[in-house]
Structure 1
Amino acid sequence: MTQRYLCVHAHFYQPPREDPRTGQIPIEPGAAPYPNWNERIYHECYRPNAELNNYERISYDVGPTLFEWLAAEHPDTLAEIVNADRRLVTRFGSGNAMAMPYHHPILPLASYLDKITQVRWGILDFEARFGRKPTGMWLPETAVDDETLIVLADHGIRFTILAPWQARAKHLDVTQPYRVELPQGKSMIVFFYHAPLSGGISFHPPMTINADQFVTENLLPVYQQEGAKRAEAKLILLASDGELYGHHQPLRQYFLERLLTESCRMNQIGVTYPEKWLQDYAVRRTVHIRQRTSWSCHHGVARWSTGCACTPGDSSWKNALRSALNQIAAEIDQVYEDTASKLVEDVWEMRHNYLKVLLGQVSLEAYLRQMAGKSLSVSEHQTLLQLLEAQFERHRMFASCGWFFEDFDRIEPRNAIAYAAHAVRLTELAGGVDLSAFAKQRLKKVVSPTSGLRGDQVFEQYRDTAFLTASY
């Protein structure tokens, strides 16, 4: 039996690209010859990897917002992605797909209740797509703290994947998963990816030209170096954005196929995935994690909060945007709680499970009647709908991409404010409280260092165009 194993994890995600005023993705000239980036990446990456059956060979997660787009535009490919997991469940009793928090937020920056909502929504979406409960969850930007792991454990998640520098350990053996002990007897298993090789395949294109050469020159030496004195099985996990294979690096879907078939076979390397590994091997090591850390910021999670040197230029707008949206969210939540609590006993549980309605698992009328414990009038029904839609928009505004790049004057942070504007408008319709002046006063401090565009100006563009994100 082989003692060397490889797992390639691919994180597939696209932010919401729809214009919040129309619900449609506008023409994006940079994506030519395709109408938008989703279509271009689909043809360069998502579809080609499905045609090669690569999804069955890797570990992967797919962002719910990307799944939603695929369901509308390319359902056949979506089915192939899902069926890859189902075939493994049938064959081994475990699948290779992982869930993801719904809107790709930086969870350590979110409140406890927001963590629950995002994790719950991500799990509900996963269950609707894959027909099973997830055992693993990918954390956006691998951003983590103990509270995040506790929420995952409370929802039945067994494992996640982190960068090695997120472990608080002098000597970390990345060929083995570790258990993080949490309060009240809870725990979370963490697989740490191999940083040099993961970075190499992501940012050094020559490394992924020839799969056979990659194994002999890069992978085999690692097995000899890592835990060389121990006879136990060794797992090397490579983690990257899934779009690497065909989009970021053209034609690398063929590299991935060759790597996980012939290249590994010729060198007696088994191909596996985290859930299968946990079926076959015990977790014997424990570790603590470094709080509020991530895989794509050298300053913890400052890239999405205070700003840092991870992005060039003046990043002070990030702190202003985070502060403004946090304050707006708090006001929206207060109106939500004050208004909904007159009709529903547990307003937060109503929010946590609202995705069941959006997924079509239960009708809105039945859901609201269940939460209220009685039939509602037309006006009461409308009020709760608007409050829940405001909550959905208010969660959308914290997608990580709003802070990832170097400037405020981009589609991602502008959309974050557009979602805030819609949430404010829906809150006014439901609760009779207009938070527009409050929001604009705080967003006025958000200024692009290049164009001078201000957050309050973006808010004004979208405030009066709010629409319900779903029809029932």
Structure 2
Amino acid sequence: MDRAVCIHGHFYQPPRENPWIGEVEVQRSAAPYHDWNERVTAECYEPNTAARLLDPDGLIAEVMNTYSRISFTAAPTLLAWLEQHRPSVYTAIVEADRESRKCYAGHGSAIACCYNHIIMPLATREEKRVQVVWGVRDFRARFGREPEGIWLPETAVDLESLDLAAEAGIRFTILAPHQAAKVRRIGTEAWTDVSGGRVETRMPYLCRLPSGRSIAVFFYDGGIAHDIAFGDLLNDGRRFAGRLLDAFSSGRDRPELVHIATDAETYGHHKKFGDMALACCLRTIERSRDTSLTVYGEYLAAHPPTHEVIVRERTSWSCVHGVERWLQACGCHSGTHPGWSQAWREPLREAVVRVRDAIAPRAAEVLATLVRDPAAAREDAVGLVLARWSDEAVTAFFSRHALRDLSPGERRRALGLLEMERQVMLMQTSCGWFFDDITEPGSVQVMRHAGRAMDLARQTLGLDLEAAFIDTLRRARTNDPEYATGANVYEAGVRPRAFDPARIGSGAALYALFDLEPPAVASGMYAVDGDWRYRSDAGGRRRILGTVRVRSRATGEEALFDAVALFSGMDQVAVGVREPGGEEALRAVWEGVMGADPAGAVSASFARVYTAPDLSNEERWAIARRIAPGIGRAICAVYRDASPLLSVLEDLGIPETGGTALLREHASSERLRSLIETGCPDPDGFQALVRGLGAPDLVSLGEAASRRIEASARAAAARPGDPVPLEEIVRMVGCAKGAGLPLTLWEGQNLCIEMRNNYALMQERAGRGEGDAQRWTEAFRRAATCLGVRVA
């Protein structure tokens, strides 16, 4: 390992969940995806689990899980979302770390990360400790081992944070070259000034800490990292590899490590096909004769530091002024709006610091009356989050920490305090200050966490901090003319999205009306039990009435309500909740709901009523997706009823109106969809129908075709030796391409690659004259070609 290369990817997404319900709500800017987590996963995180390596003919020769070859940040907020919403991607990432240990002498590719990307030098000592401990415990729970390294958010560094990391068993971290101040060979006295990015990056350094502990620091190659993030280096994976290999010194007399660190979203999200360029680069280096791939833990074990370093405290990789980007208008911005002012950053920082500093001493005082060791309980509370506040986890937590046998009210208060402190950390997430305006999602998100923290402070401590918080935000002038100040942003973007138990109960009734799971339940943050005694879908109106019990798993808060929901259309919604009134009262309400004025009956009987304008975007999105297919069915029914008339018009040569033409187009599209869903048994008929269509819904039909092709590939993989699913793939791809349908072949290609081992066996059988094997091998060759996969 005299010449080694390490590529580090900082895989991270900020917390985007609604703090009151624990789920990410629909984000319009991420369309056509539900939210940005989904979009970046589709463009980056998933492609990197099976990045394509092409042969000279442009066919897929192999796939690579790049996570197993690089070093990467295991960011808790991202992994928690992936585990719940994209478990296959999550599993592939965890498995990649296991695989990497086989390649790198037992050292894994994943490193830990401070829990929620807080700027560590701006945090209190207690917050820093919790950030490190939670990051380490989250890592251990996911990867089944202790982390060797840790990523400091934005590489923002100070000695106290490094000391706490070393105390937790962390051996190394990664910094930008300009974060080094002085270096010297271990055992010598004279220091060399390397400020301004002049540090030698091809070796690790020892950083001695005030406690007597130490930690190793790797300073990445800034020039190459810059050209990956902002240049065109990812246009060609071989050129990318060449740039890394050329970075070794020509007359070296010691081992050298060329290494880089970038936001890993560059590999596919920021740079399309960046995942393929990364895979090509890695494969090229693997085939190099005198250079090996490595990860930091392996390199550090083989080559302990020979030099030590003094780091420049309160510096970061994304602010040339230190950490001022998260404090004030230092001049750093995204570049999207160069003329905008970032003066809003200072009052936003001041507002959240005031909330933090008002809560911390009171919370510590009250928590000390409930648990034996507040610091230990606070650090152990990450287990509640990892277990999604399950009853078993809560019971075990109190058995370890309770000062005495706590009453239900005391348990609720303790849980509320711990959740409040989690929200206080989340409201300091770096993304809140990184971008160009306080109206942007990152800033709104930290204000939402602040809102939830203040909500819990009111409940658990009797502190009302919101008025002062909003008053401070009035000094945060926005760049968006729609809002004057941060206070207006808070009023518009935070308050309407706050959920109390009654609002969650009303939402539960609405979701039950469509047999959907409420997001608050899906997140694990709430248990919701509905007893829906009355229900009707008569007359095109949906109605539901009953009782619903809402319990916050995170805080223990619990409430019971009568709840009702009516739906006659997206603009005709009424949802109500009230204190339970008993069976007779419910029956009386139901009689009114089934009467001539159901909405009036709801308004007269329920204390809190929500109508269509009160619904959240997430509620509207969920309902719209559920009922949208019914529109197509209704149009087809109209077409069936009108088809005799349309035949007469066609026979007599009477021109169709625009409405009848649209009916015919939609019905033809539905016939195409039906053929797709049965595997296109008649390709000629399919193409004839396509030619007769004016403007089919290509995107929707392409999605249907992609799903069918994937299903055929799964059937082929499950039934080795059966050529029928492979023949269907050929037929389906031919029909789809002939119709110009956009296809997503990702999973089908992956399955095809897995089947290549079976192809070798079947080829042997075919060579012995077995007819079934000959048919299968021919079908596989044709299917692989259609999917763009090299056969062998």
TM (norm. structure 2) is 0.57
**For the aligned residues, what is the CA RMSD?**
2.0
Find the aligned partners of 1:389 and 1:453 in 2 and give their Cα distance: 32
Distance 1:39 1:343 in 2: 40
Aligned pairs (5 A) from 1:16-415: 16-51=15-50, 52-90=64-102, 92-169=105-182, 170-171=193-194, 172-205=199-232, 207-216=233-242, 218-224=243-249, 228-266=250-288, 268-311=290-333, 312=338, 313-360=340-387, 363-415=393-445
SS in 1 for 2:468: helix
What is the CA-CA distance between 1:28 and the residue it aligns to?
Answer: 2.7
Q: Which amino acid aligns with 1:223?
A: F
Please state how far the C-alpha of 1:184 moved relative to its aligned partner.
Answer: 2.8
Q: Say if 1:340 and 1:53 are closer, same or farther in 2 by CA, change over 3 A.
A: same
Post-superposition offset of 1:460: 4.5
Q: CA 1:368 to 1:453, structure 2 compared with 1: closer, same or farther past 3 Å?
A: farther
Distance 1:47 1:179, change over 3 A: same
Question: Any idea what SS the aligned residue of 1:9 has?
Answer: strand
Task: Answer yes or no: is 1:470 the counterpart of 2:525.
Answer: yes
* Residue identity matched to 2:81: W
1:23 to partner: Cα distance:
3.5
Would the aligned equivalents of 2:151 and 2:173 in 1 still touch at CA under 8 Å? yes
Q: 1:268 and 1:238 mapped to 2: Cα distance?
A: 19
Question: 1:183-233 CA deviation, whole Å, 9 max, x = no partner?
Answer: 23211100110000011111112x2222223333x2333213xxx443211
CA-to-aligned-CA distance 1:47-78 (integer Å, 9 cap, x gap): 11101211110000132111111011111111
Shift of 1:391: 0.9
Q: 1:37 to 1:83 in 2, by over 3 A?
A: same
Between 1:289-298 and 1:279-288, the stretch displaced more is 279-288
Whether the aligned pair in 2 keeps the contact of 1:99 and 1:136 (CA below 8 Å) is yes
Aligned partner of 1:441 among 445, 465, 471: 471
255-264 vs 2-11, which moves further:
255-264
Tell me how far 1:263 sits from its aligned partner: 4.2
Which range is displaced more, 145-154 or 90-99?
Answer: 90-99
What is the DSSP-based 3-state SS (H/G/I as helix, E as strand, rest coil) of the residue aligned with 1:448? coil
- In our comparison, the structure showing a higher alpha carbon Rg is 2
Whole-angstrom distance in 1 between the partners of 2:209 and 2:234: 39
Task: Determine the C-alpha separation between the residues in 2 that align with 1:380 and 1:213.
Answer: 62
CA displacement 1:110-147 (0-9 Å, x = unmatched): 11111011111111111110011111001111110111
After superposing the two structures, state which structure 1 stretch, 55-64 or 365-374, moved more. 365-374
**What is the DSSP-based 3-state SS (H/G/I as helix, E as strand, rest coil) of the residue aligned with 2:378?**
helix
**2:714 corresponds to which residue?**
none
Match of 1:68, SS state, is helix
Between 1 and 2, higher relative CO (CA 8 Å, sep ≥ 6) is seen in: 1
**8 Å CA contact 1:45, 1:253 repeated in 2:** yes
Matched pairs, number: 466
- What secondary structure, in the 3-state scheme, does the structure 1 residue paired with 2:253 have? coil
**Aligned position for 1:9:** 8
1:416 aligns with 2:446: yes
The 8 Å contact of residues 12 and 243 in structure 1, kept in 2 or not, is answered as: yes
Shift of 1:258: 1.3
Separation in 2, partners of 1:90, 1:428: 52
How many Å separate the matches in 2 of 1:379 and 1:212? 63
Letter in 1 for 2:212: G
Residue 252 of structure 1 and its aligned partner are, at CA, apart by: 1.4
Name the CA distance, whole Å, in 1 between partners of 2:290 and 2:102. 25
Greater fraction strand: 2
For residues 274-297 of structure 1, what are the alpha-carbon distances to aligned partners after superposition, in whole Å with 9 as ceiling and x for unaligned? 001012112111010001000011
- The secondary structure found in structure 1 opposite 2:365 is helix
- Compare 31-40 and 392-401 and name the one that shifted more: 31-40
Sort the Cα spacing of 1:214 and 1:421 in 2 relative to 1 into closer, same or farther, 3 A. Answer: closer
- How far is the alpha carbon of 1:336 from its aligned partner? 0.8
Residues of 1 paired with 2:346 and 2:308: CA distance?
A: 35
1:356 positional shift: 1.1
Unaligned runs of 5+ in 2: 51-63, 183-192, 502-519, 527-552, 554-792
Task: Supply the AA of the counterpart residue of 2:73.
Answer: D
Deviates more, 1:370-379 or 1:448-457: 448-457
* Structure 2 Cα separation of the partners of residues 210 and 161 of structure 1: 26
Opposite residue 303 of structure 1, the aligned amino acid is: R
Q: Which string of whole-angstrom CA distances, capped at 9 and with x for unpartnered residues, describes residues 287-312 of structure 1?
A: 10001000011100111112211124
Q: How far does the alpha carbon of each residue in 1:329-362 deviate from its partner, in whole angstroms, 9 at most, with x for none?
A: 1111122123222222432322122111121296
For the Cα contact (< 8 Å) 2:74–2:139, is it kept in 1?
no
Is the Cα–Cα contact under 8 Å of residues 204 and 304 in structure 2 kept in the other structure?
no
User: Residues 200 and 466 from structure 1, CA distance in 2 versus in 1: closer, same or farther, beyond 3 angstroms?
Assistant: farther
